[in-house]
Structure 1
Amino acid sequence: MTDIVDDLPPEASHRDAERAFREAGWTPSGAGDWALALRSPDGVAAVRISPFDPVGPYTAALYREAAHTGQVPRLFAHRRLAGGGDLQVMEWLHAVDEKDAVAFHTAIAERAPHVAELVDVVRRIHARAARALPWCGPLDQNPSNIMRGSDGRLVACDLYYADGPALYAMAGSDPTRFVTLLPESERRYLTEIPLAESGPWDEASRAAMRRGIAVADAARADRDA
C-alpha cells in the first residue's frame, strides 16, 4: 500500500493522490469537513486525503511518536501534498459506543494512569502545533475521534484540528492579513475541502474567497519586489 504513496510525483495534489488510490482499487468509505477516505481492496487499511490540512503533520507525528502505547492508529504512510494537502494511510478503524468514547476522552483529560504515556505525547505535540499554527484549536473531544482497531483496542485519532470558522472568516474578511500568516504553498486548495458535514459551501463564495486572496497575494508581492 505504501507503493502508491512512493510512486506519487513530488508535486502531486490531493486530486492526483485520490486518482492513484482509486486506480489501485481503493474504494470510497466516507468524507468529512476536511478530508475524504478510501478503503484498501483487502479492507485492512484506509487512506485519508485532504486538500488542505494544516494540522496533518502533527496528527501523523502523534501516530508515530505514540505508537508504542497502542492507543493511536497504526500509521503506514504519511505524505504532504502540493498546495497544503495531507495524506495518511493507516489501519482500518471501527466505531465505538459513545459511552466508551467519552470515557476514553475523560481518561485523556484527567491523565489517567492507563493513558499517561499517550497523554504526554499528545500534549507535547499539541504544544508544538499551537506555537506554529495561528488557528490551532484545543484538543478535540468529539466522541467520533475515539475508535477501535481491528484487534479491539481503543485508539485516539484526529485529536488536533484547525479552527476552521476563524481561519476561513479571516481568509474571507481580511485576506491581506491572512496571506501573511500562511504561505501560498500551504493553502493553495483551501476552498476545496469537502465540507460533507457542515456544508454546503456554494461555488460563488469559494470563488470570491479565492479572488480576495489572489489580490492580497499580488499586492504583497508588489510590496516585496
Structure 2
Amino acid sequence: MSPTPAIPKSASADQARDLLEAAGWRQVGLGDWSWVLADPTGAQAARVTPFDPAYHLHAQACLDGPPNRWLPRIDAILPLRRDGYVVVMERLWPANEAQAAAFCSALGIVNDSGYAPPPDLPFAEADDDLAALRGRLTDLILEGARRFKLWGGSDIRPGNVMADGQGRLKLVDPVFVRGLGIVEAVRDGRLDLLSDFSREQLEDFMTIPPFSPGEETQGLRRRLAELYA
C-alpha cells in the first residue's frame, strides 16, 4: 500500500488529482460526481470530488460508525478547497451483477433514482450486519432530507454495489442529491431551492465530470453569475 501524497487543504480537485498522479496513482474510474484513482499497489483508491454533499454524508458515516461487512473501509477524508474532498479507501472492483441485485433486494430500501429490483431474489448471506445497515441507511436518508431541499434519497442499485479483492459485496454510494434539480433550479432562477448551497459551492458543482467544456456549461455558469450579481 503506497502512502497518500500530501494534499493541501487549499488544493482544488484538479490539483489533488495532479498530486496523486505525480505519486504514481492512476485513474481507474469516472462517475457523475468524482474521479477515482488507484495507488500503485492496487490496494487503495482515492475518490476525488470538488462537490458532492451526499457522498460526504455516507463516507463520514462509514468512517465514524462501527465496521459493517457490507460497507467499504474508509481510511480518511481529506478536505480540499471549499467543500471538495478526497476519500481514501480500500480498492474495490465491479461486483457480480446478479449478486448485487440480490443484495439490493434483500436490503429492502426503496430506490428513489428509478431502479426497481426484481422481487424476492434469493440472498443467502443476510445477517445481523445487513439488518444494521438497513437501519443506518434509513437514518442517513432522513438526515439528508432534513439538510437539503434538493435531496434525492436512496440510490441503492446494483451499479452502486462493488466488491473487494475477495469478492465480498460493498455498498459504495447509496444516497444522492439531485444534480439535475440543481441545474434546473439555476436555469429557472429558483434561488429558494438553491438556498442550501453557496455560490461558491454551485460554481464547484459545475466542475464535476458531466460538465464538459462548451457553450452549454458556459451558459449555465453565466446564468449562475446573473443570479448572484
Q: Which range, TM-score by smaller chain?
A: 0.7 to 0.9
Give the equivalent residue in structure 2 for 1:73: 72
Give the equivalent residue in structure 1 for 2:42: 43
Provide the secondary structure at the position in 1 that maps to 2:106.
helix
TM-score, normalising length from structure 2?
0.83
Q: Is the contact made by 1:65 and 1:121 (CA closer than 8 Å) also made in structure 2?
A: no
Give the equivalent residue in structure 1 for 2:146: 131
Q: Is the contact made by 2:24 and 2:40 (CA closer than 8 Å) also made in structure 1?
A: yes
Q: Percent identity?
A: 26
Structure 2 residue 193 is the aligned partner of structure 1 residue 194? no
CA distance in 2 between counterparts of 1:110 and 1:166 reads: 22
Deviation (angstroms), 1:165: 1.5
Provide the secondary structure at the position in 2 that maps to 1:69.
coil
The AA in structure 1 aligned to 2:209 is P
Deviation (angstroms), 1:141: 2.5
Change (3 A) 1:74 1:206: same
CA distance in 1 between counterparts of 2:217 and 2:203 reads: 12
Give the equivalent residue in structure 1 for 2:169: 154
CA distance in 2 between counterparts of 1:182 and 1:127 reads: 19
Q: Is the contact made by 2:9 and 2:79 (CA closer than 8 Å) also made in structure 1?
A: no
Structure 2 residue 192 is the aligned partner of structure 1 residue 203? no
Deviation (angstroms), 1:3: 4.4
Give the equivalent residue in structure 1 for 2:55: 56
CA distance in 2 between counterparts of 1:188 and 1:43 reads: 33
Structure 1: gaps spanning 5 or more residues: 219-225
Instruction: Select the structure with the greater relative contact order (CA < 8 A; seq sep ≥ 6).
Output: 1
CA distance in 1 between counterparts of 2:21 and 2:3 reads: 14
Listed one character per residue, the Cα deviations across residues 45-93 of structure 1 (whole Å, up to 9, x for unaligned) are 1111112212132121232245522211111111232243232111111
Q: Is the contact made by 2:150 and 2:193 (CA closer than 8 Å) also made in structure 1?
A: no
Deviation (angstroms), 1:100: 0.5
Give the equivalent residue in structure 2 for 1:174: 189
Q: Is the contact made by 2:149 and 2:193 (CA closer than 8 Å) also made in structure 1?
A: no
The AA in structure 2 aligned to 1:98 is E
Change (3 A) 1:94 1:64: same
Structure 2 residue 83 is the aligned partner of structure 1 residue 84? yes
Structure 2 residue 223 is the aligned partner of structure 1 residue 212? yes
Mean Cα deviation higher: 175-184 or 49-58: 175-184
The AA in structure 2 aligned to 1:20 is L
Q: Is the contact made by 1:74 and 1:91 (CA closer than 8 Å) also made in structure 2?
A: yes
The AA in structure 2 aligned to 1:215 is E
**CA RMSD, 1 decimal:** 2.2
Q: Is the contact made by 2:109 and 2:154 (CA closer than 8 Å) also made in structure 1?
A: no
Listed one character per residue, the Cα deviations across residues 130-161 of structure 1 (whole Å, up to 9, x for unaligned) are 11122221211321211111233211110011
Give the equivalent residue in structure 2 for 1:100: 99
Give the equivalent residue in structure 2 for 1:22: 21
Structure 2: gaps spanning 5 or more residues: 111-125
Provide the secondary structure at the position in 2 that maps to 1:34.
coil
Mean Cα deviation higher: 23-32 or 79-88: 79-88
* Among candidates 144, 148, 157, match of residue 142 of structure 1: 157
- Structure with greater helix percent: 1
